[in-house]
Structure 1
Amino acid sequence: MKENSLLLLPLSFIPLIYLTKNLTGNDFPSCNDCILGVNAILLLLINVVILGPILEEVVFRQILPKLLSGNLRIPSLITAVICSASFSYIHLESFTLYLFSFYFTSGLCFHYIRFKTGSLFIVFLAHSLYNFVITVLIDITGML
């Protein structure tokens, strides 16, 4: 799989999110009921599309995997599961299996991209693109 196509892998979850939401009635926390000004939208996008992915990718795809696999010699698959579960946990405002599994699967997807490309920058781009699309669809337009 080429690096360019790996960037789009997380976006393949968007139709699944819409379908699951409609079938289960579960919803993502969002700002659909509030009116966001331009400054608030820009700050939201900077935090969600740039700062968040940088921090999360460094922690969950660089530091934590090196600690688990390298120092503690935990197998790669177990490391991916631990990192993805940790990634999921920090995103939860309240625990539901639906949201945990969504973020866990996203974490696995980002871990796979990092593993296949070896590039923290590529996985950052995928994470940023994914967050941008989700933020626009959920928080700004309310489409999902």
Structure 2
Amino acid sequence: MDLKSKNNECRQLVRARLDIDHGSITEMASASSSSAKNLFSDSKRRLAERVAVNVNNASSVARQIVRGSKSNEILMQAAKNFAYHESTVDNSIQNLKKMEIIFQHLNYQYEAIEQAAEKLEYVEEQVKAMER
């Protein structure tokens, strides 16, 4: 049973109880003066208002509790997602560091190949000079 239906059921019970009390109060009031009737009806009205306010407040508290429990679930899910993404970010950082090292090694190899190419030109010139 959801919160709204419980709230409505509670209101119906309160109204039914007030109707029963109203019959008793009305009988007593008919025997007394009109000022007493007004006093009883006024008291009954104020009591009904207070009961209605209390029922509404109780339902508000229940709604807040339900919302609070849902926000806790959402917060837990967000924390799990954050932890999941944190490890992904850490892996990405490690991969970037490895790529930087590979880039440096490729630079060293490129420089070595460039130097070897320069020496190769010198060797070719010497071979041609020997062939003459």
Larger % of helix: which?
2
Higher relative contact order (CA 8 A, sep 6+): 1
TM-score by length of 2: 0.33
- What TM-score, normalized by structure 1, do the two folds share? 0.31
